[in-house]
Amino acid sequence: MKKLLVFTLTVFIFSAFTAKATAQNKENEKITAMLDSWHKAAAEGDAATYFGTFTDDAIFIGTDPTEYWNKTEFQAFAKPYFDKGKAWDFKAIERHIYIDKSGKMAWFDELLDTWMKACRGSGVLVKVNGEWKIKHYVLSMTIPNDNTTEVIKIIAPYEDAFIKKLQGK
């Protein structure tokens, strides 16, 4: 009887872990599909799909230090690109997805193949009416550590002035 109880508990615990892992995998697949579709929408100039993937209060942070936009500001910036029928073409090379215990929030990071070469993207997602939406996204260019000094020399004049301007506020 004791062996049967231990066996039953073992099967129950294993089933619970398997069910949780299966649910997490399904959510990861949904997030992956959403993010891939989001990137594809930019490549195809589909502004409705691209911006429909954001929450209304979303923030997008671009590679330039001035690029900190809410959804409306980002739409205004991106409109001329989307109006041409193609904005930018980013493809995920690698992606890591993490989902909180409630299943209502997730975060991710991705390595992207872009016209700027390798970039990193990271973001926060929330579930809105059963769909994953981007609440916060950060795009950054990558710089090999061995080239940091060279890059600093190039960006220093612009960024020194930008930093001084912000410090003067």
Q: 85-108 burial, b for 16+ CB within 10 Å, e for fewer?
A: eebbebeeeebebebeeeeeebbb
Number of domains in the chain: 1
Per-residue pLDDT 10s for the chain (169 aa) are 676 665 555 544 544 445 555 667 999 999 999 999 999 999 999 999 999 999 999 999 999 999 999 999 999 999 999 999 999 999 999 999 999 999 999 999 999 999 999 999 999 999 999 999 999 999 999 999 999 999 999 999 999 999 999 999 7
Q: What is the pTM of this model?
A: 0.85
Range of the domain at 101: 2-167
Amino acid at site 143: I
CATH number, domain of 144, equals: 3.10.450.50
